[in-house]
Amino acid sequence: MKKENPMQRSRTFASVLIACSVVAAACGGTAQPSAQASGQASAAAAKPTVKVASFNFPESVILGEIYAQALEGNGYKIERKLNLGNREVVFPALEKGDVDVVPEYLATVLGFVDKTAKGSGDPKETSTTLQNAVKSKNLTVLDFANAVDQNSFVVTKATSDKYKLKKTSDIATSAQGQLVLGGPAECPQRPFCKLGLEQTYGIKFKDFKPLDSGGNLTVAALDAGQVDVGLLFSSDAIISVKGYVVLEDDKKLQLSDNVAPLVRNDILAKGDDMKKTLNDVSAKLTTDELIGLNKQVSVDRKEPRDVAKQWLKDKGLVK
């Protein structure tokens, strides 16, 4: 007797669920084109639970929320694994199937998957190379967004005026050997940091000061004049808040680190409009949009969940 009760309850619960999902299209709203309504409803019943992960930094959490809520808005059930860890943690989880969808950065993940792969400044090319690299792992790269989060070298307005700096190559012409560069400790050895600036641009710095990876120390050191050029990330809201001048990467040192969803093939096969949902998100996501999203979280102290919800609504991606 005692054992049957919960069984019964769960069976009732299940039938309610099924009934609910069958009529979901009718319940949820009226925007579905009526010609497709019946097909949509039966697909909704079969929509899988999607495990959405993100890395352990705010921008990734926002992107994860956006993917999660966009999918939720299209009838998917979502298990959130946001703020999971760094790529060393998240990527193996994706390979094993512990998570299904991750907001990735094209060039960075390509370098992670295949150390020998040559990234490029062209996101299309990078995306194709990445797709070939992850095919054997049963992963798919969906459409990349225009939004890019890459290393950018910034100077204060005062420094820009003093040395007439607009482009990165200006450093070599008008401030050669006069500026102090600040960045993460590994910067002097990294091809996309000091090493690349020296080799690609022929820049010589007066000195290098180890700080952090585009964090508060770099900002503080720039403001205090302890460094002249700082490494920040292009989507960081602090750049516009502080009015820093981003030096244009005129010799295309940085690779195309566009945001793109990396998805497991098996989940993609189960959810037929999943690809379209995520591609629609990417289509609307520009670097400026990303900066705006980051600003709301890092400067205005809003919750990533609320920020994502509002953005999806504003862009007409969910109702």
Partner 1 sequence: MGAAGPVVTFLAEVYAWLMDPAHWAGSDGIPTRVGEHVQLSALALAVAAAIALPVGIALGHSGRGGFVAINVANIGRALPSLAILAFALPVAFALNLGLGFWPTFIALVPLGIPPILTNAFVALRNVDRDVIEAGRGMGLADSQLLRQLELPLALPVVIAGVRNAAVAIVATATLGAVVASGGLGRYIVDGLALRETDRLFVGALLVALLAIVTELAFGIFERVAVSPGVRLTRAAGARAR
Cβ nearer to partner 1, comparing 75 with 182: 182
* Three-state DSSP class for residue 52: strand
- What is the nearest approach in angstroms of partner 1 to the Cβ of residue 190? 10
Cβ neighbour number for residue 30 with a 10 Å cutoff: 9
Closer CB to partner 1, residue 223 or residue 272?
Answer: 223
Which of 56/131 has CB closer to partner 1? 56
Minimum distance of partner 1 from residue 216's CB (angstroms): 9
CA dist 234 and 203 (Å) reads 21
94 or 222: CB nearest partner 1: 222
Q: What's the min distance (Å) between Cβ of 199 and partner 1?
A: 18
What residue has token string 């998570």? 99
Report CA-CA distances (Å) from 270 to 10, 44, 264, 318. Answer: 25, 11, 10, 21
Can you give the binding site for partner 1, defined by CB under 8 A?
A: 182, 184-186, 189, 207-212, 217, 220-221, 224-226
Q: Are 151 and 61 in contact (CB under 8 A)?
A: no
Q: Which one-letter amino acid corresponds to residue 14?
A: A
Considering beta carbons, is residue 38 or 199 the nearer one to partner 1?
Answer: 199
In the bound complex, what is the minimum distance in angstroms from residue 56's beta carbon to partner 1? 17
Strand intervals (E) in the chain: 49-55, 77-85, 101-105, 139-141, 151-155, 180-183, 207-210, 229-233, 245-246, 259-264
Give 97 or 225: the residue with its C-beta nearer to partner 1: 225
End-to-end CA distance of the chain: 45
Q: What sign does the dihedral 31-37-42-43 (CA atoms) show? A: negative
